[in-house]
Chain A
Amino acid sequence: MAEQDKQGSQGATITSPGGGGQPLLATERGTTSIDNAVVTKVAGIAAREVRGVYELGGGASRALGNVTHRVGIGDERMQGVSVEVGEKEAAVDLTIVVEYGESIPQVAEQIRDNIVKRVEGITGLTVTEVNVTVNDLHFPGDDRQPPPEDPARVA
């Protein structure tokens, strides 16, 4: 039973839940909090919605993200995104891989616009900055599977 004895009033007190939640709205009847993970995930989803973004994350983060996602403990929508969240504002840093042939300045600008729109619309936080690092370019041929090895000529 997870019931806890929390003596003392929490009526309109602004509290921060464990795990990095941020207090946002306190009313007479209780508080509403939004965890930092929500801001991270919204920013990741918003970035992926932009044409020209192939993937999020640096090489190591992508490799780790693939492993953790495969074993069911990670969320690829959060890789390559870090956020700093205050009472009313948030700053977002993200690392991306851009499709070869896309204009990096344009992609970065569209990412900024979309993240600001989504994060502000969903969480009510003001996004003060979105810093985009382009870590790599993706070429269409990069996805091609390596040819199967020649079968052994001798048993």
Chain B
Amino acid sequence: MRIAAAALVAALGVAGVVRGHDGGDGRYATAVGEEVLPGVVVAAQRGGRYSADLYLTAALVPLRPLGDRVREAVVRGVGAAGLEQALGPVGVTFLSVEKQVGHP
């Protein structure tokens, strides 16, 4: 699923995002061929669009603004893959946080 891959790559590129979180039991993951993308679920919506939901582990940073930055990055990343018209709402859920070495 190209939207899932583009969305996850874009989200992971945002500073403060540590990794995708599959929910602990793989419920928040998308299989693309043999590859599994943890932390992204794409769902069909009305009108031929797809919502993209990201489930993430973040650093100890303010999460609301980080969520906005992730959403913007996903829209940009999916757009760069030529799929912007197919992208519906982008949900961002922080499931965990991690103290990063070197951060206060």
- Using a CB–CB cutoff of 8 Å, the interface residues on chain B facing chain A are 1, 4, 23, 26-31, 41-46, 51, 55, 60-64, 67-68, 71, 75, 88-97, 99
Contact = CB atoms under 8 A, between A and B. Distances in A.
A38 B11 CA distance: 18
Contacts, number: 116
Given A6-B45, A27-B68, A42 B91 contact: no
B50 to A, nearest CB: 9
Contacts of A12: 89
A32 interface: yes
A45 B60 contact: yes
B51 to A, nearest CB: 6
Contacts of B45: 6-10
A121 B61 CA distance: 8
Interface of A: 1-12, 15, 17-19, 21, 24-25, 27, 29-35, 37-38, 41-42, 45, 118, 121-124
B63 A32 contact: yes
Given A4-B41, A34-B63, A122-B62, A11 B88 contact: yes
Contacts of A3: 1, 4, 30, 41-44
Across chains A and B, which 6 residue pairs bring their CB atoms closest together, nearest first? A32-B67, A30-B89, A30-B90, A6-B43, A33-B93, A1-B31
A42 B59 CA distance: 10
Given A3-B30, A5-B43, A35 B95 contact: yes
Contacts of A15: 91
B46 A32 contact: no
19 contacts: A3-B43, A6-B43, A6-B51, A7-B45, A9-B46, A10-B89, A10-B91, A11-B88, A12-B89, A29-B89, A30-B89, A32-B93, A32-B94, A34-B63, A41-B97, A45-B97, A122-B61, A122-B62, A124-B64
